[in-house]
Amino acid sequence: MKLNYLLLDVFTTEPLKGNPLAVVLKADGLLDNQMQAIAAEFNLSETVFIHKAQSERHSAAVRIFTPLVELPFAGHPTVGAAVVLGLQNRSTAVRLEEKVGVITCVIERVDKETGLARFALPKLPEEVGKAPARQAIATTLGLEPEEIGCGPYEPALFSAGVPFYLIPVRDAGALKRIRLERRGWEEVYPVGHRSIYVFTQTPEERGNEFAARMFSPGMGLGEDPATGSAAAALIGLIARQTGNGQHEFRLRQGHEMGRPSLITLQLRKADDQLTHGGIGGHAVIVGEGVLNLGG
C-alpha cells in the first residue's frame, strides 16, 4: 500500500515556521491502529487523514491523530486540510466531516502553495470544570503565585471539543520564563488530556492582542507551536470580558520555540451570550512524499 502525503506549516505563511502538519491523502483503506501508528511515525503534534465524505454535500471526512491519541477536533489540522483541499480543487469553501461535527471553511488562495482558511467553531466553548488553585498552578509552571492572572482573566477550564486549562499569566515576561514541573501534573490537571494553555495580554506588542503557550503531556506532546483547539476554548473566556457585537483578536504562539505562529480569533455576542466563535490562519505546503506500507 502506497499513500501520498503533504507536509504543511500552519498558522504561518513562512516555510519552517508555524506548526508542522502531515496530511495523508486518500486514506480510506487505513484501519484506526494504522492511522495511529502513522501519526506516531511522523511524530508531529498532529497528523490528519483525508477520507471520502459520507455526504455528497461535503468535501471530505478527516481523522485527526496526535502521536498518542485521536482527537475529535483540532484547529491546525482543520486549517491545513482545508487549505490542501481548497488549493487542489480550486475551491473557495470546503465542508469537512470531523468527529465533533461538520465544519465549513472559507478559503483564500495566496499562491499555489499557500492559502488562508477561516471556519466557524462547530461547538461553542463552554466552561467544563474548576481550575486548580493558584499556588498549584504556579508550582507546575515554575512561576510565583502572584504571576498567575492577567487583568480581568482568572484560571478556568473550557472546551470547544477538547478541554484545556486556561492559565493567564501576568505578562509576556512571565510567559517566556515558564519552566515546567511535571511532578504532580496529573493531580493538578486531572481533566481530559491534562492540557494547559497559558496566555497573557500583549498591549505593548504590535500585530497581536494575546500571546500563548500550550503544553500537553497527555497528548504525547511537549510544547505545541500553535493550537487552534486551545485558542477555540480561549474564545469562551475572552467572550466574558467583551461586550455585545463582533470582535476579532490576534494571538501569537510558538515564539518561545522558534516557530512563530499567528491565530485569528473571532467572536460575536448578542444579549450577553456568545453566539459565534471562529478561527482563522494561513498554511503553506512545504513538502510531499509517499508512505510505503507494504502489503
Angle ∠(114,56,125) on CA atoms, nearest 5 = 65
Q: Which of 13, 46, 89, 28 is nearest to 260 (CA)?
A: 13
Mean pLDDT of 86-91: 95
Mean pLDDT of 33-58: 96
Name the one residue in this structure whose C-alpha cell is 511522523: 42
46 annotated active-site: yes
Question: In the numeric block, which cell numbers belong to residue 20?
Answer: 508542522
What domains sit in the chain, N to C, each tagged with a CATH number? Answer: 2-122+282-292 (3.10.310.10), 126-278 (3.10.310.10)
Question: In the numeric block, which cell numbers belong to residue 279?
Answer: 478561527
Task: State pLDDT tens for residues 275-294.
Answer: 999 999 999 999 999 999 88
Question: In the numeric block, which cell numbers belong to residue 292?
Answer: 510505503
| pLDDT tier, 295 (very low <50, low <70, confident <90, very high otherwise) | low
Task: State pLDDT tens for residues 142-192.
Answer: 999 999 999 999 999 999 999 999 999 999 999 999 999 989 999 999 999
Q: How far apart are CA 214 and CA 210, in angstroms?
A: 13
Q: Which amino acid is at 83?
A: V
**HSE toward the beta carbon, residue 170, CA cutoff 13 A:** 13
Please tell me which residue in 14, 41, 46, 146 is annotated as part of the active site: 46
Full-model pTM: 0.94
pLDDT of residue 221: 67
